[in-house]
Amino acid sequence: MCAKKFNAYFDPANFFFGQSRKRAAAKYDTDDGTNEESGYYSSSHQSGSDTSDAPLRFIIIRHGERVDVMFGAGWSQRAFDQNGRYYPFDTNMPPSLPHRTNWLDYDVDTPLTAKGLSQSWNVGNVLHRYNLPVTACYSSPAFRSIQTADRILEGMGRKGHVALRLELGLFECTSWYARSPINFMPDSELINGGYNIDTRYRSQTSDLRLLENEYQYYDRSKETMKKIIKLHRKTGGTVLLVAHAPSLEVLTRHLMNGQPRPERLAELAGKVDFCSMTVVERESSVKPWQFRYSLDEQANQGIWQQHLQLQHSNSASIPSKTPTPTTATTAPAPASSTPAAYQPPLTFTNYLAKPVNPTPQLQFFGQQEAFPPYFVL
């Protein structure tokens, strides 16, 4: 019965091209005179004359560890009684969950585990230590993404200063939920649960096409990114986008003048661990977007110069199919000929655990097969 319920965000009429149901217009000016960031081959240099816009950076991150992955489908049957009261049955279960009108919706719109909550807080703490203050935060309406964004901002000490903007366009490919449509939590339940939701914000994507394919997902993500870029073109700053595993690919592909590759999207997304993030930035709308290779500013500049030199070299090196991480420190050394061995992400047995000495270190995965380089704890 639950699988047949559709949230108002999903409009079955949108299954067919050209049909759309509009929601309320966004209350934030989108500055229509800006660079359109359009096309998969014209995103970087399309704007011509205005150079007054500020440097802009996006941190795009997958949500933390999710309950259903760790405890299997139907976990909510064990965690809730018949009256909808929540009882965690494992130390890795979240200690509490917000009240939900239909608690069965947690089956598909799953929360984070206790480890996932700690992962997210630690990411925020690491970003704070690298002096990357977030000025705005957008989240997929999926509850696991909202929780991740909330804990990242808490780890930064920014939870009370930056409200969460729920952006429908950041959600995953809808055809992946064909058998179990998802019902998102309304703002009222999230606010009652202690989440700082920006109620003035209206999603830049008005609705989702039911059963969109992967190519349509790329296109929707591109359009969402264009609109968010417009919102922040003049003010610049560091914008946090908390979404899903494919988001690292679909939100940045057009910025790097790449073509969509829908046939490989599931494979590429499968390589992205929980709380993995990629950082993309530009100096102005007339400058190209660049991936970040270190969270340290000076080290990133040095690595970027090395990257440019490698791009212009004629050496025919073949990249490994298995990405090899290196530790991102405050002053990482240039990549050596012998890659560092993989170290699994740091974990915590207590959901209240905070990082102590030694502090969590990010692992860096270099660009492989044109997939965005990314960091993970």
Chain centroid to CA 11 = 24
CB 212 within 8 A of CB 220: yes
Active-site residue among 57, 63, 233, 292?
A: 63
CB 176 within 8 A of CB 147: no
Task: Give which of 349, 347, 352, 377 is closest to 365, Cα–Cα.
Answer: 377
- Assess whether 202 carries a catalytic annotation: no
- Assess whether 128 carries a catalytic annotation: no
Task: Give which of 318, 320, 311 is closest to 365, Cα–Cα.
Answer: 320
Please compute, for residue 23, the number of CA atoms within 13 A of its CA located in the half-sphere on the CB side: 16
Q: Which residues pair with 66 in a beta bridge?
A: 112
Burial of 65 from C-beta contacts in 10 A (0-12 / 13-18 / 19+) = buried
Task: Give which of 146, 84, 152 is closest to 111, Cα–Cα.
Answer: 146
- Distance, in Å, from the CA atom of 274 to the CA atom of 288, rounded to the nearest integer, reads 28
End-to-end CA distance of the chain: 39
- Assess whether 45 carries a catalytic annotation: no
What are the phi and psi torsion angles at 186 (to 5°)?
Answer: -75, 160
What are the phi and psi torsion angles at 300 (to 5°)?
Answer: -60, -40
Q: Which residues pair with 365 in a beta bridge?
A: 325, 374
Active-site residue among 244, 253, 254, 261?
A: 244
- Distance, in Å, from the CA atom of 231 to the CA atom of 47, rounded to the nearest integer, reads 16
Give catalytic residue positions: 62-63, 244
